[in-house]
Chains A and B, each alone.
Chain A
Amino acid sequence: MLEVVNLTKRYGESYALNDVSLSIEQGTFTTILGPSGSGKSTLLMSIAGFVDPTAGDIRLNGRSLLPVPPERRNFGIVFQGYALFPHLSVRDNVAFPLRMRRLSSAETERRVSEALALVQLQDYADRFPRQLSGGQQQRVALARALVFKPALVLLDEPLSALDKGLREALRGELRRLHRKVGMTFVLVTHDQDEALELSDRVAIINKGRLEQCDDPVTLYNAPKTRFVAEFLGKSNFIPVRKLGVDGAVVRLQAGGVVLEHEQAGDATGAEAVLVLRPERIQIAPEGAPVGPNAVRGVVEETSFRGAEISVTVRTEIGTLLARAPSAHPFVRPAPGDRVVLHWMRKAGYLLDSADGTEAAGSG
């Protein structure tokens, strides 16, 4: 198990990492997700041993890694831009870590062809990196990082240099590879879809701080901060005041409307923010029979996005964004239409007002 304990990295007055703690279980796929400049690469390079932290510790199975130089950490790294050695063939690139470990030439040869087979590049062993496409180079970098059976595989934005179609294809391949080799993977990326699709756990970093570390479903449905909610797709933020608790149901006051809300776990303070994903909001024509949590409004704008239509509605509790399947048989909202927006009690997630506003300022 890899543990990052209160890790801090300061450059002069500014913090690249500020008191970050994280633990990564053996065999899992963990993604460190954050916007550029958030400190996620500093975190990865600290784990790799190329950045000396100012404070805190990094431990592998209980032992501190800080005194261990990069070449003795035994971590496979796929660098951004791959960092393939241009003067070595594919075979020699992949054999490099084995030669550094003085494996016998027979063993080296066996493992290299095994690793190349794993990424389906058996036929490219004698090529040089510049003779390969971006996707192929990426797979060589993977093979090189896996071939010495490292304790941990670190991937620094491995897909960012590729175009969209290839990126999606390689995502699938990366996941299959992870299942097949069963090693611990740590991926750094700024791409939310990549993080959600690939990972067992996602750690979201912003301005050097860890915002939240959870499995993708929890992150999406129960963001702990406004930053997390905003970074993973669009959300509506409705300021509310708590009126009272009635069993599992919390009653909330938003503008002139009373909303009902149900949420597992402890309720927050009196002032709160209700986070509501657009796709959880239903649109109905005015006057249609609806349940609780109904607000009336006028459609301001619609935009067609293929599978769905997103609709901006000015309501009595503020402007809300909703999404409806574009193939919906009845609902064809157009600007100026009067509609009712409604949602189920469990559709939203209540955030402490403080969490909501603190992160709100960061945009």
Chain B
Amino acid sequence: MIAGSRQTRAFLLFLTPSLVFLTVLFAYPVGKVLLVSVTDPELGLQNYRLLIENAALRRVFLTTVRIAGLTTLIAVAVGYVLAYRMHTAGERELRLIIFCLMFPLWTSVLVRAFSWVTLLQSNGIVNGILIGTGLTERPIQLVRNEIGVLIGMVHVMIPYATLPIYAVMKGIDARLPQAARSLGASSLQTFVRIFFPLTLPGIGAAMILVFITSIGFYVTPIVLGGGKVVMIAEYISVQITETLRWGLGAMLATVLLAIVLLFVFAFRRLTVLREQGA
């Protein structure tokens, strides 16, 4: 920090640009969406009442939570294994794993969804191999259903799951597992009683990050779900672009935002409490 008299000047100089830019171009537009949810087509909470009354809406929510939940469980489980390997691997293997995480992470989700379609469609490569080797006679349906969406979304989410867990593992004092061993714990007991509990904050962070990202997914479910698996983001865009029901779309966006922010807030509270040691 710098002296008090300079604080205001520094704020004006360095923070005003982003404050103005993001307020006008981001906060204001997003705020307007939230507002529309209670003003369109007329002032009131009628849009929110649909949440309770409308069965189709409930189904979309259920699908979204189910897919996001499954994605979270699978991605975090795979991420844990990868993070554990990174934690124990040598320099070369570590670099390889990091590359295998970073390259997909920064590749367009559109490209990846396209690629999965190529692999998974009924006349695609995977089915070609399955039929060619005689494992199955007719092609297995791998896209335009929840399996396809899960395959695509887990793929996107694994890097997000792995990195926070790895960061926590890296921070664990290497002497703690040694201490457990010296006190009579086998390597399995050391993992179960010492290492695993110490990685729980990483697992929590990974789960929240993956869940709040998955719940708003747009491209992957559209391309791999092929209209059969409708998640909330796609449903919102249909309300806006096709049926022009802005109030409904805005209401769903608001609920989505509320869920995301709730998780973020809960997570922050959790970490703050841990740090205070209550």
Contact = CB atoms under 8 A, between A and B. Distances in A.
Whether chain A touches chain B in the assembled complex (some CB pair under 8 Å): yes
A74 B178 CA distance: 13
B173 interface: yes
A244 interface: no
Q: Interface centre among A79, A80, A128, by most B CB within 10 Å?
A: A79
Contacts, number: 65
Interface residues of A, number: 30
Interface stretch (A83-91, A203-211, A253-261): A83-91
Contacts of A304: none
A69 B181 contact: yes
Contact of B277 (A73, A131, A148): A131
B197 A144 contact: no
B183 interface: yes
Interface in B164-186: 173, 175-176, 178-186
Contacts of A97: 183-184
Interface in A40-72: 48-50, 69-72
Contacts of A96: 180, 183, 185, 193
Describe B's contact surface by its main secondary structure: helix
A76 B182 contact: yes
Interface string A331-346: 0000000000000000
Chain B interface size range: 10 to 19
Given A86-B198, A130-B277, A74 B179 contact: no
B197 A100 contact: no
Nearest to A73: B182
Interface string A87-110: 100000000110011000000000
A116 to B, nearest CB: 16
A69 B197 CA distance: 23
B94 interface: no
Contacts of B185: 71, 96, 100
A74 B181 CA distance: 10
Contacts of B178: 48, 50, 70, 77, 79, 83
Nearest to A102: B184
A144 B181 contact: no
A77 to B, nearest CB: 4
A75 B189 CA distance: 18
Given A83-B178, A85-B194, 16 more contacts: A49-B182, A50-B178, A71-B181, A71-B182, A71-B184, A71-B186, A76-B182, A77-B182, A79-B175, A85-B198, A96-B180, A96-B185, A97-B184, A100-B185, A130-B277, A144-B183
Interface of B: 173, 175-176, 178-186, 189, 193-194, 197-198, 277
Interface of A: 48-50, 69-77, 79-81, 83-87, 96-97, 100-101, 128, 130-131, 144-145, 148
3 nearest interchain CB pairs? A100-B184, A97-B183, A83-B179
